[in-house]
Structure 1
Amino acid sequence: MSDLPGSSDKSPLVELRLWRQFVTLADELHFGRAAQRLNMTQPPLTQAIAHLEVVLGLKLFDRTKRSVKLTAAGAALVPEVQDLLTRAQALPAHARAAAGGEVGHLRLAFVSTVGFALLPQWVRAFRERYPRLALELIEATGDVQLQLLERGEIDAGFMLHAPSFVPPGLERVRIASEPLLLALPEYHPLASLQAPPLAKVLAEPLVIFPRRIVPSLYDAILAMYHAAGRSPEVAQEAIQMQTIVNLVSAGLGLAWVPESVRQFQRPGVVYRTVPAGKPSAKVPGCETSLAWTRNNTNPVLERFVGFITGDTGHER
């Protein structure tokens, strides 16, 4: 049962002014001194506390002509109200910090190749520099990242693509350029050569990612085969680079992988640089970019892009 009339099952909305008056009286336990601290007269303070008790449907103070004491409910409220007032006082500074990208949350997607070396270094350095910023990391292939960006479920994504390719409708900053290497089983005859000839490589079965994952890079690889007058014999498709390398280890075929994949040391697999064949048949390179939608207004993203470009000097 409620102690006072006017109570309700619904949570009452109480102004911060009333909470300040309550906590000051709880500290002084004297209406006159509390009113003086609040720069007001005693009658309005008495009326305010009475109003607060009616709103809450609880007695907060037991008062007589000689004393003012907190009730059990009032005493329980004091630390909670003090915390509320402290947090309310910090709100303007917090809002300014959020607007400036000093606090907040950033959702970043990434392809597996970035996770081998670059991403862990950046995440550690970024968190050390901006400890009040939270990074949420989501591993996803390029096609999935584009869907997430379109739905607004991520702020930006590290994507793999062919050189100079710009995803339509997105802003980007290039963060890495690297050659494609050949991954092949260590027992394969071409593995004994430090620079296997391209013509022989192109005749071997190929393990490759599906086109939908990285269309621009897939097309660049196929263009190399076509320039040499060949069509690739696709033995198997796989989504993740680690899986592709594992399939190479099992002897299903050879694979073109970014140089960064070399750090994935899979027993039974070696990596080789393949020189160009005909002038028109050249092994393509690949790039990794951080991409985001043009209408993204998250200030933490702007700060992260500044961190990437400032620390690495990469170009848009």
Structure 2
Amino acid sequence: MERPELPLPQLHAFVVLAEELHFGHAAVRLGIAQPPLSQQIRRLEDKVGHALFSREPGRIALTPAGHELLPAARRALTDLADGLAAARAVGSGRAGRLRIGFAASLALTVLPGLLRTFRERFPDVHLDIREMTTAPQIAALHDKTIDIGLLREPSTDDETELSFKTVLAEPFVAVLPSGHPLATQRTVRLAQLADSPFVLLPRTAGPQLHDQITNLCIAAGFTPRVAQHAVEWQTVCALVEVGLGVSLAPAGIRRIRLKGVAFRRIEPDTVRTQIAVAWRKNDHTPLVASFLAAISQDQPDRPP
């Protein structure tokens, strides 16, 4: 079916005249003279093939054909205005869909503050939040299935294609069963954990963080004896609680409240785990730029 070409200026002129039912008043609203307005209406009537207005001395009125066209003309103008507004919002980074991967432990530190700041500045952006450990986030960024990654200890091997911005540096703490002899101390020397079994994240979940924890132990004179692996820190703490081992974790993990788990400062306390925002270097979309601009103004909550 052939679609008739109805220029928007003609539809606009028709709607305004239908509302005013007076050529002079309609011309003033449109900011044009009466003759051009009459020409626009005539051209539209030629397209329709029927008169849209009845013209009598001193008054005009909509014909049945005009009454039928009016709702569709209004919808067309409204839809176009809405479409233009939406396109401008997406083009400026004020609307659209942003896919964000995040490491679960970040929900205990920077994630709430970062998302709150962004939502306050860009309430019309739909956030697609996906919980992922560091290695899957890196893969998802390369595969373009997420736009932003919030992760721990990014690898320098990825810096050719990805950009990283550190948003927080956290110290490590010892995670102990509450009945562990060292739980009575305020600070634990790492060497004191040499004989304890460990519960750690598998290296595949976050190679850099896993190696960082292992190297901390090696620097203290021992290699951790891993008794159990767990992908999430909540699970690590639960396994420590039941006595399967001890662990080293970012300080923000202390916000996981388990009665049977004690968190203690460690010595030496010189190493920090980095929390970073990651994005593709060649991704210049407005939404990514908006997110980076928003978080640059945020002051992340520090772990207790």
By the TM > 0.5 criterion, same fold? yes
Q: 1:193 aligns with which of 185, 195, 201?
A: 185
Q: Which residue of 2 aligns with 1:233?
A: 225
Aligned residues of 2:149 and 2:277 also touching (Cα < 8 A): yes
1:300 matched to 2:287: yes
Closer, same or farther: CA 86–16 of 1 in aligned 2, 3 Å:
same
Distance, in Å, in 2 between the alignment partners of 1:250 and 1:60 is: 84
Aligned residues of 1:170 and 1:291 also touching (Cα < 8 A): yes
Deviation (angstroms), 1:166? 6.9
Q: 1:80 aligns with which of 65, 75, 78?
A: 75
Distance, in Å, in 2 between the alignment partners of 1:198 and 1:89 is: 61
Closer, same or farther: CA 232–88 of 1 in aligned 2, 3 Å:
closer
Greater Cα shift, 223-232 or 263-272:
223-232
Aligned partner letter, 1:189: P
Deviation (angstroms), 1:263? 1.0
The root-mean-square deviation of aligned C-alpha atoms, in Å, is 3.2
1:106 matched to 2:98: yes
After superposition, the C-alpha distances for 1:48-84 in whole angstroms (9 at most, x for unaligned) are 2331x36xxxx78474768542535324325423423
Q: Which residue of 2 aligns with 1:118?
A: 110
Aligned partner letter, 2:274: E
Closer, same or farther: CA 252–15 of 1 in aligned 2, 3 Å:
farther
Aligned residues of 2:23 and 2:37 also touching (Cα < 8 A): no
Aligned positions of 1:278-297 closer than 5 A: 284-297=271-284
Q: Which residue of 1 aligns with 2:172?
A: 180
After superposition, the C-alpha distances for 1:147-206 in whole angstroms (9 at most, x for unaligned) are 2211222221111117x9574332111111111111111012222222233233122111
Distance, in Å, in 2 between the alignment partners of 1:196 and 1:307 is: 38
Closer, same or farther: CA 87–255 of 1 in aligned 2, 3 Å:
same
Closer, same or farther: CA 138–159 of 1 in aligned 2, 3 Å:
same
Residue aligned with 2:136, SS: helix
Q: Which residue of 2 aligns with 1:24?
A: 16
Deviation (angstroms), 1:98? 4.6
Q: TM-score, normalised by structure 2?
A: 0.80
Q: TM-score, normalised by structure 1?
A: 0.78
Residue aligned with 1:273, SS: strand
Deviation (angstroms), 1:239? 1.0
Residue aligned with 2:205, SS: coil
Aligned positions of 1:101-250 closer than 5 A: 101-161=93-153, 167-168=158-159, 169-228=161-220, 230-250=222-242
Distance, in Å, in 1 between the alignment partners of 2:197 and 2:225 is: 5
Closer, same or farther: CA 23–240 of 1 in aligned 2, 3 Å:
same
Unmatched 5+ residue regions in structure 1?
Answer: 1-7, 277-281
Number of matched pairs: 291
Residue aligned with 2:165, SS: strand
Distance, in Å, in 2 between the alignment partners of 1:43 and 1:179 is: 75
Distance, in Å, in 1 between the alignment partners of 2:22 and 2:163 is: 62
Q: Which residue of 2 aligns with 1:69?
A: 62
Aligned partner letter, 1:16: L
Distance, in Å, in 2 between the alignment partners of 1:112 and 1:160 is: 10
Greater Cα shift, 137-146 or 120-129:
120-129
Closer, same or farther: CA 33–192 of 1 in aligned 2, 3 Å:
closer
Aligned residues of 1:31 and 1:46 also touching (Cα < 8 A): no
Q: 2:248 aligns with which of 237, 245, 256?
A: 256
Distance, in Å, in 2 between the alignment partners of 1:99 and 1:14 is: 27
Closer, same or farther: CA 33–260 of 1 in aligned 2, 3 Å:
closer
Aligned partner letter, 1:74: L
Q: 2:43 aligns with which of 47, 51, 61?
A: 47
Aligned residues of 1:23 and 1:82 also touching (Cα < 8 A): no
Distance, in Å, in 1 between the alignment partners of 2:145 and 2:45 is: 46
Aligned residues of 1:16 and 1:85 also touching (Cα < 8 A): no
